[in-house]
Structure 1
Amino acid sequence: MLPSDLLIYRYSGESIVPKHLPLNSTAIALASEQIDCFQDSLGNTQGQLDQKLLELEGDSPNYRVKRGLAHLLKNHFSTFEIVSPLEPEDLRKRVFSRSAESVPIPQNRPHLLENLASLLSEELKREVLPSEIERGLYADLKENRILVSFEPPEPETLIHRYNLSQIQGVFYRATYIVINAHRNDPGEYKLLFRYLKLFQLMTYIEGDADTGFTITIDGPTSLFKASTRYGLSLAKMIPALLHVSKWSLKTKLQSRDSYTGGIKTSYFNLDDHCGLTTHYSRGKTYDSMLEESFAKRWEKLKTEWKLEREVDLIPLPGSVMIPDFRLVHPDGRDFLLEIVGYWRPEYLQKKFYQVRNADVNNLILAVSERLNLEKAGVNFNDTPAKVIWFKDKLNPKAVLSLLEENLSNK
């Protein structure tokens, strides 16, 4: 995605209109120029690459577009590495130690580092050349990292990625998003819901697979404290939505007015005719970091309970629930596991309303102790689910203990 300072948009009334590069000869030539610059810089430092990119900008009025294309190439198609004979920090300690021993300091200062490098090279029994020591001394600085590999995209691919990134940037300032998806293949809904869970978005889902779903997602400006990380997660959801055939989206945005200093409200709409192209996979299974950590730790337990990630949607009155995991015993018994990590009072109230109305008696709720349930007005007295508390990570042993306790009570 693009940082805020590289986003380009205009206003049409109260609606925001992001920058869109057409697939014409001018845009393709612009993208090709940037790609060629990266290819020609293989083996060079990031600082040298940045200098070449600056020269390409010149006094062009399209400098922000060029910087945006370069940002995407640098962060998604390039690999920079620290190239040094030793860890730069260790190398600096050795050189500075040698320097302290060189008292008085030679008057020929320009050759001081060269002399120290030669001494250190001898100390390392000539396994490292003096020139390598000089280059490696500050190799860990960002501008000194080496471009070791570059996977050049087609110019059209880069333009598609740029246009998508401009749209994604809109949602950094979203108060909420409402998505209406209808008459789609059930598999498309399931894929979208899996991505929503991956990015840990606070989502309310209403409807069913036959008539369609209305999906409301809290935006970063609606949180108790605005979160840049959450805003990025929300933006990452947009490429997943492009896998759905029929949909429309509307969002309310809030930003600081540069003239008055007050809050400015604007709006943005998008639908399945937007012409954007996704780079997300259809077939890969996705999990949040919390879920992935739990799954990996579960595999180390010696238990007959099998952990499944593929869980069918659970219909609710006018909505749907998507548990994180299913736990299955060889005798056929199973439990559904839902992890509740994010919080906002209205979100928690809706979540526990869903739990109370779910027609299931085998649900386990893993609830973060960091949630302010008292403020949300939530209690567990009328919640049929079994509850497990956790702090930063969900302990698989706590879940297993609850499962075994249930078996012994049968």
Structure 2
Amino acid sequence: MLPTDLLMFRVKAGIVEPRRLKPTPGNLTLITTLIDTFTAHVGEKRAPLNDALKALEAGRSDYRVVRGLAHILAGDHAEFETGGTLEPSLIRAKVFELAQAHPPSRARRADVLAQAAAALGGGPLTPEELGEALYADLPDQQTLVQFDAPEPGTLIDRFNLAQAQGVLYRAYSLIITARRNEPARYKQLLKYTKLFGLMVTVEGDADYGFTLTMDGPTSLFGGTTRYGLAMAKFLPALLHVTKWDLTAALKPRRDLAWVDPEDDEWRFELTSDDGYVSHYKVPDEHDSALESGFADRFTKLSGPWTLEREVDLVPVPGGVIIPDFRLVHEGGRSVLLEIVGYWRPEYLRKKFDLLRKSGRTDVIVAVSERLNLERAGVDPSDFDERVIFFKGVLNPKGVLEVAEKLTGTGMA
């Protein structure tokens, strides 16, 4: 992501609009020049590269664009290493220890380096090399050892997303309305809320959408933007969900002269149609071989039932259920299918507890017989005919039989 001083945005009527870079001929030429600059400095220290980048931005009114693009190239596409065979911190400690006994001088410096080289083994570095290695761990002394040049369009997408992420640094509340999606997309979304420590509640239904609310009172974090940073890191995961709207409440920046002092709150609004591109890995369509195998076998059947991957979230007090499939009858009725193949006792207890709390009677639960429900303290008897036990593979015909009973449809 970008540091605060490289963020570019405007505020209109309390709505924040981040700067977006377009693939104009001028911007594409700039990106090509930046990529060529990095490529030309592979094998060199970072200081000459920084000098070349400063020369490139000199006299340009869009210098922050240059710095922002270079920041992304250095962070995402370049690899820098500290040279030498000894840790610079160890070299500094020995040199400073030896130097304390004598007043500094050019001649004395050479003696100290020679003594330090001998004390540190002598072989790995000569006194001259030791002098160069003293501060080899500083950023400008690191060597650019590898650079993987991105496509210009990819870099533009990454720059634009970084600007949007930067706006969220100051967010203390995030509300997302999500529509029906593949389970893998929802599961990735919720995985990242946990990964980044976001507190989320889920409400709503399939007709009006599911609302995910993430609140981070600044008092919890000592007035810092740590929660906003977590929301910024979360945004690329949200982009994999196909239909959504986002509204964020932000703290206004008081360090900018043009900010209206009367502003108490800013808002940032995004939708899935805004064209931002995620750099996070796209989640697999199926979470397990059980699910993919079931889907493959279902496609070989003929009849009035259709298997859908896009499903609804099922809000539950204390959590959320993300069914694996929806089975839709041609008459319009449908049921959800949850495949339980994971064996850990805590997982099983939580899964069945959430299913009970949901109060939903349209969820079929398929459970592998390899799971020891009794050992986990799970009693599925209160789910009546909605539970299916299977060995090895899940037979679609058995699932459809249960679906017919629940929906009042008949085999066709």
TM-score, length of structure 1 as denominator length: 0.67
Mapped pair 1:116 → 2:112: yes
Whether contact under 8 Å (1:20, 1:163) holds in the other structure is yes
Q: Does 1:335 align with 2:331?
A: no
Deviation at 1:191, TM superposition (A): 2.6
Q: How far 1:162 moved relative to its partner?
A: 0.4
Percent identical across equivalent pairs? 37
Structure 2: gaps of 5 or more residues: 286-310, 323-339, 361-373, 379-412
Quick check: 1:180–1:248 contact (8 Å CA) kept in 2? yes
Please state how far the C-alpha of 1:223 moved relative to its aligned partner. 4.5
1:184 offset after TM fit, Å? 3.0
Which residue of 1 is the match for residue 71 of structure 2? 71
The answer to whether the aligner puts 1:190 opposite 2:216 as a matched pair is no
Question: Which residue of structure 1 lines up, in the alignment, with residue 197 of structure 2?
Answer: 200
Structure 1 SS opposite 2:203? strand
Deviation at 1:284?
Answer: 7.3
**Structure 1 portions without partners, runs of 5+:** 286-311, 339-353, 361-402
Tell me what 1:54 maps to: 54
For 2:195 and 2:82, the matched residues in 1 are separated by 31
Q: Deviations over 1:261-290 (max 9, x none)?
A: 6653222211111111111112379xxxxx
Residue 161 of structure 1, CA deviation: 0.4
Q: Which amino acid aligns with 1:81?
A: E
Matches within 5 A, 1:339-354: none
Measure, in 2, the Cα distance between the counterparts of 1:82 and 1:166: 30
Q: 2:129 aligns with which of 109, 129, 132?
A: 132
Moved more, 162-171 or 84-93: 84-93
- Conserved 8 A contact 2:46-2:142: yes
Would the aligned equivalents of 2:246 and 2:269 in 1 still touch at CA under 8 Å?
yes
1:175-216 deviation per Cα after TM superposition (whole angstroms, max 9, x unaligned): 322211124334332332222222221111113457631111
State the distance in 1 between where 2:209 and 2:132 align: 60
Return the letter of the residue paired with 1:187: A
1:215 aligns with 2:215: no
Alignment-mate amino acid for residue 271 of structure 1: T
CA RMSD of aligned residues (A): 3.7
Equivalent position of 2:44 in the other structure:
44
Query: Contact between 1:206 and 1:318, CA under 8 Å: does it hold in 2?
Result: no
Superposed CA offset, 1:33-81 (max 9, x none): 2222222222333333222211111121011111111111222222222
Distance 1:315 1:76 in 2: 37
Q: 1:152 aligns with which of 146, 149, 152?
A: 149
- Aligned equivalents of 2:207 and 2:281: distance in 1? 25
Give the aligned partner of residue 381 of structure 1: none
When Rg is computed on C-alpha atoms for both structures, the one with the higher figure is 2
Instruction: Note the C-alpha offset of 1:229.
Output: 2.3
1:134-283 correspondence runs (5 A): 134-208=131-205, 212-219=209-216, 221=218, 223=220, 225-257=222-254, 258=256, 264-283=264-283
What is the alpha-carbon distance in structure 1 between the residues aligned to residue 275 and residue 89 of structure 2? Answer: 49
Report the alpha carbon displacement of residue 357 of structure 1 after superposing the two structures with TM.
Answer: 4.5
Runs of 4+ in 1 over 6 A off after TM superposition: none
